[in-house]
A and B are shown apart, each in its own frame.
Chain A
Amino acid sequence: MEFLQQVANALTQGAIYALIALGYTLVYGVLRLINFAHGDVYMLGAFFGLFISRWTGALTLSQNNKSVPLWMTAVVFVGAMIGSALVGMVIERFAYRPLRTAPRLTALITAIGVSLLLEYGGQMAFSPDPQPFAALIAERNIIDTPSFSLSLVQLFIVGAALLLMLSLNFLIQKTKIGRAMRAVSIDRAAAQLMGIPTDRIIAFTFALGSGLAAAAGVLNSIYQPSIDPLMGVQVGLRAFVAAVLGGIGNIYGAVLGGLLMAFAETATVAVGLSRYRDAVAFAILILVLLVRPAGILGRNVAEKV
């Protein structure tokens, strides 16, 4: 039962990593760019969630140990996702788009710059101190035995993540805009020649990835209800590793990578090596890339120039 408990915890964490990893992979797909500010967009999502919780009164309810009505939780989620989606679009428009034809390194350094801007800007705007988050989902165990417990929060996280992933998959595989996203990621110039407004598709992709990151930010904050402006640094790095591990550019790879990262982390902690969990993550990444340079589900093709 101890094992089952670990599996449940790893799934919860993995769902969150996977949602963030999807954003890295989506943006990489259309732009061949690692958006290093993505972890900070996740952080902003959590803060948007906090502000909307305050504004709707959800925070007060939760501080008075009252349960938050479902509609408020929904408003917090949707609001945070829209907020981060807009931030993602602004970042794309003003930081990355002007560099579309610049050398890769320029865009990479800009990405790191945007990340630092959001981290230090966040500390100035929200204060560097951790702040309590609202219990948007009742803190109650659905299964509660001495050896195994599953909380409603965990179930909610996995369920919400699954719903978002299935929706994303539908969007990408079955809709017109999803087909356009895939076309842009395969061959941007050819997509343009077909009449696809590639700039708009790229902006939409940022919005989508950023929205998913915000959902992950709110979900994580319900799970671990304390947020600060640097919360995206480590989680962002792990989700990035997850995306590369699974095969960057591949959405199924991002989900697989996110789960693998969480399971590896949980196992490392379970055997008492919690201080080494990032080292273990990178060791796995290096080993996998030695065997499969494009990641587990990545296509091994030479990079287009």
Chain B
Amino acid sequence: MLSIRNVRVRYGPIEALHDISLEVNEGEVVTLIGSNGAGKTTTLGAVSGLLPLAGGQIHFDGHDITSLAPHKRVPLGLIQVPEGRRIFGTMTVAENLDLGAYARTDRANLRNELDEIYALFPRLAERRNQAAGTMSGGEQQMLAVGRALMSRPKLLLLDEPSLGLAPLLVKEIFAVVKRIRAKGVTVLLVEQNAHKALEVADRAYVLETGHISMTGDAKTLANDPRIKAAYLGA
């Protein structure tokens, strides 16, 4: 469904991604793990189109999206939940959700999506008319995910959704990832929390300073001594 081939991304003269290749198949949860600064956010920026490529190609669902404008990728069914949530803080929860559906042409069906998302995140329903920025970090993360789901994506890109959340909320977020996949949405999950990420994912890629250093089945990687030593604190 998503195929990244030999992608390079530069920030000015510095190359942050060197020849990255990665595949995500329909129905999978794939995780991209790596330490801070490895290039995980940069990879998602390349996929969502915020960052131009210095080389390589990206295909999504049969389309070559290598140089497609970011806003044109959303209607194809590709949406990103950015790192740090980036919700529209002075707007209400309902307005944020509505913006997630901006690119949709079937606005008559929005009601169903909205009901589904409010069922998935009951806290958002209670706070629908509240300014989004006044909610707790966990609620804001739920909103960021809900907002992306409003676009009815085929592939959801999640950038460190557990970052800065209390353990209980981290658990909740990963439970949400499972429920999203159960709805038939494919997920590419970027995480520093390798332990949790490998638990929910089918397959994983390990990113190290702009290279893919390892890839494989999530269960296998979780038991790999090198992964245990570097990312699982064992």
Residue in contact with B103 in the complex, picked from A187, A189, A194, CB distance below 8 Å = A194
B79 touches A189 (CB 8 A): no
Cβ < 8 Å to B, chain A residues 84-131? none
Q: Enumerate chain A residues within 8 angstroms of B43, measured Cβ to Cβ.
A: none
Residue from B73, B88, B151 within 8 A of A187 (CB atoms): B88
Chain A, 162-205, contact with B by CB distance < 8 Å: what is the 0/1 string?
00000000000000100110110011011111111110000000
Roughly how many angstroms separate A107 CA and B143 CA in the complex, as a whole number?
35
Interface residues of B in 76-128 (CB under 8 A from A): 79-80, 82, 86-91, 95, 98-100, 102-103
A192 touches B70 (CB 8 A): yes
- Contact of B75 with A by CB under 8 A: yes
Q: Are A195 and B98 in contact (CB under 8 A)?
A: no
CB distance from B138 to the nearest CB of A (A): 19
**Are A192 and B95 in contact (CB-based, < 8 A)?**
no
A189: B residues at CB distance < 8 A: 50, 82, 86
B80 pairs with A195, CB closer than 8 A: no
A193 and B89 within 8 A (CB): no
Instruction: Give how many A residues have a beta carbon under 8 Å from the other chain's beta carbons.
Output: 17
Residues of chain A within 8 A (CB-CB) of B87 are: 190
A186 touches B74 (CB 8 A): no
A227–B75 alpha-carbon span in the complex (Å): 49
Query: Would you give the shortest CB distance from B134 to chain A, in whole angstroms?
Result: 14
Taking a contact as CB atoms closer than 8 A, the residue among B48, B82, B91 that contacts A179 in the complex is: B91
- Please state if B100 and A194 are interface contacts (CB–CB under 8 Å): yes
In the complex, what's the smallest C-beta–C-beta distance from A51 to chain B, in angstroms?
37
A195 touches B82 (CB 8 A): no
Instruction: Report yes or no: B102 in contact with A186, Cβ–Cβ below 8 A.
Output: no
CB < 8 Å: which of B71, B75, B151 contacts A192?
B71
Kindly provide the distance from the CB of A227 to the nearest chain B CB, expressed in whole angstroms.
Answer: 39
> Is the Cβ of B48 less than 8 Å from the Cβ of A186?
no
Give per-residue flags for B186-210: 1 if the beta carbon is below 8 A from chain A beta carbons, else 0.
0000000000000000000000000
In this complex, the member of A176, A190, A197 whose beta carbon has the largest number of chain B beta carbons within 10 angstroms is: A190
Indicate if B147 sits at the interface (CB-CB under 8 A).
yes
Which one, B82, B88, B103, contacts A182 given CB within 8 A?
Answer: B88
Contacts of B99 in A (CB 8 A): 179-180, 183, 191, 194, 196
What's the nearest-Cβ distance from chain A to residue B92, in Å?
Answer: 10
Closest residue of chain A to B103, judged by CB?
Answer: A195
Interchain CB contact under 8 A, B102 and A198: no
Beta-carbon contact of A179 and B74 below 8 Å? no
State how many angstroms separate the Cβ of A256 from the closest Cβ of chain B: 18
Shortest Cβ distance from residue A220 to the other chain B in the assembled complex, whole angstroms: 33
Given contacts A193-B48, A193-B80, contact A187 B102 (CB under 8 A): no
Given contacts A179-B91, A187-B88, A197-B71, contact A192 B102 (CB under 8 A): no
User: Contacts of A187 on B, CB cut-off 8 Å?
Assistant: 86, 88
State whether A190 and B82 are in contact (beta carbons under 8 Å apart), knowing that A195-B74, A195-B103 are contacts in the complex: yes
Q: B102, A195: Cβ atoms under 8 Å?
A: yes
Residues of B within 8 A of A192 (CB): 49-50, 70-71
Shortest beta-carbon distance from B218 to chain A in Å: 26
Q: Which residues of B contact A186 (CB under 8 A)?
A: 88-91
Taking the closest CB of chain B, its distance from the CB of A226, in whole angstroms, is 43
Bound-state CA distance A191–B100 (Å) is 9
A25 CB to nearest B CB, Å: 15
B100 lies within 8 A of A179 (CB): no
Q: A192-B71, A198-B71 in contact; A179/B95 too (CB < 8 A)?
A: yes
Q: Which residue of B lies closest to A197 (CB)?
A: B71
Question: Is A190 touching B74 in the complex (CB atoms < 8 A)?
Answer: no
CA distance A229 to B99 in the complex (A): 42
Shortest CB–CB separation between residue B85 and chain A, in angstroms? 9
Query: What is the distance, in angstroms, from A173's C-beta to the closest C-beta of chain B?
Result: 9
Within 29-82 of B, Cβ neighbours of A (below 8 Å) are at: 48-50, 69-75, 79-80, 82
Provide the bound-state CA to CA distance between A239 and B3, in Å: 52
Which residues of A does B touch, CB under 8 Å?
176, 179-180, 182-183, 186-187, 189-198
List 13 extra interface pairs beyond A189-B82, A195-B72, CB under 8 A: A176-B102, A182-B91, A183-B88, A189-B50, A192-B49, A193-B74, A193-B80, A194-B100, A194-B102, A194-B147, A195-B75, A196-B102, A197-B71
Which chain B residues have a beta carbon within 8 Å of chain A's beta carbons? 48-50, 69-75, 79-80, 82, 86-91, 95, 98-100, 102-103, 147, 151
5 A-B pairs (CB sep. < 8 Å): A183-B88, A186-B88, A190-B87, A193-B86, A194-B100
